[in-house]
A = this chain, B = another copy of it.
Amino acid sequence: MTPPPTLAILAIGDELTSGERVDTNSAWIASKAAAMGVRTVEHRTVGDDQPRIARAMRDLAAQSTLLITTGGLGPTLDDLTRPALAEVLGSPLVEDPEALAALRKWYTGRSTPMPEANRVQALRPESARRLENPHGTAPGLAATLGQARIFCLPGPPREMCPMFDRFVTPALQAAPQMRVHVRIVPTFGLGESTVADLLGDLMNRERNPVVGTTASGGIVTCRIRYTGPAADADRLLEESIADIRGRLGPAVLSGHDPRDDGLALVRSVSDLLRQRGQTVATVESCTGGLLGEMITRLPGSSDVFAGGLLTYTDALKARLAGVDPSLIEQHGAVSREVALAMAAGGLERTGADHALAITGIAGPGGGSEAKPVGTVWIARACTKSEPEARRFRFQGGRDWVRQWSAMNALGMLRLSLLEAHCSLLGES
Residues of chain A having any CB pair with chain B under 8 Å: 13-24, 26-34, 39-48, 52, 56, 74-78, 109-111, 115-118, 135-137, 156, 158, 182, 184, 191-194, 196-197, 203-205, 212-216, 221, 223, 225, 260, 282, 284, 286-297, 299-302, 305-313, 315-316, 319-320, 349-351, 362-365, 393, 395-400, 402
Asked if residues B288 and A296 are in contact (CB atoms below 8 Å), the reply is yes
**A191 / chain B contacts, CB cutoff of 8 Å:** 115
Copies of this chain in its oligomeric complex: 2
What are the residues of chain B within 8 A of A284 when measuring CB–CB? 289, 292
CB pair B44–A45 under 8 Å, yes or no, is: yes
Q: Are A312 and B320 in contact (CB under 8 A)?
A: no
Q: A193-B118, A302-B313, A393-B110 are contacts. A19–B13 as well, Cβ < 8 Å?
A: no
Partner of A260, one of B20, B26, B193, B215: B20
Q: What B residues does A156 contact at CB under 8 A?
A: 215-216
B110 pairs with A395, CB closer than 8 A = yes
10 contacting pairs across A/B (C-beta < 8 A): A16-B27, A16-B43, A18-B30, A20-B223, A41-B47, A77-B205, A288-B296, A288-B301, A297-B398, A305-B312
The A interface is mostly helix, strand or loop, or mixed, namely mixed
Q: CB-CB < 8 A to A196: which residues of B?
A: 75-77, 117
Asked if residues A24 and B22 are in contact (CB atoms below 8 Å), the reply is yes
Contact B289 A310 (CB under 8 A): yes
Interfacial chain B residues near A41, Cβ < 8 Å? 17, 46-47, 52
Check A223–B349 contact: CB distance below 8 A.
no
